[in-house]
Amino acid sequence: AGSGTEFTARYRIGNGPDGNVGAGAIAHAGTKEAAIVAVSNPLPASGGVAPESAAQLRRRAPQAFRTQQRAVTPADYAEVTERID
């Protein structure tokens, strides 16, 4: 896309490290949706990390868009294996 090109992005956010709560800590859904009558987390929530800075996002976005969480070519597979913690 050229300079000045507009696009729309959708993303999800969480509570970062504060969202890593113990089992049984979630008891409220935070919605008024009538179909949801109860919530719980029998297992601990984990994996929450601090958000990326705007600079980190700008640096990572082009590659993330190109790969879109998939591996097709040998180079894709090599790149994916390097990201594994």
pLDDT reported for residue 30:
83
Of the candidates 4, 3, 6, 9, the one whose C-alpha atom is nearest the C-alpha of residue 64 is: 9
Length of the chain as a residue count:
85
Question: pLDDT tens digits, residue range 3-23?
Answer: 788 877 777 778 899 999 999
Question: pLDDT tens digits, residue range 39-82?
Answer: 999 999 999 999 889 999 889 888 888 767 778 889 888 888 88
Determine contact, residues 79/67, Cβ cutoff 8 Å: yes
Residues with Cβ within 8 Å of 9's Cβ and at least 6 positions away in sequence, in order, are none
pLDDT reported for residue 85:
61
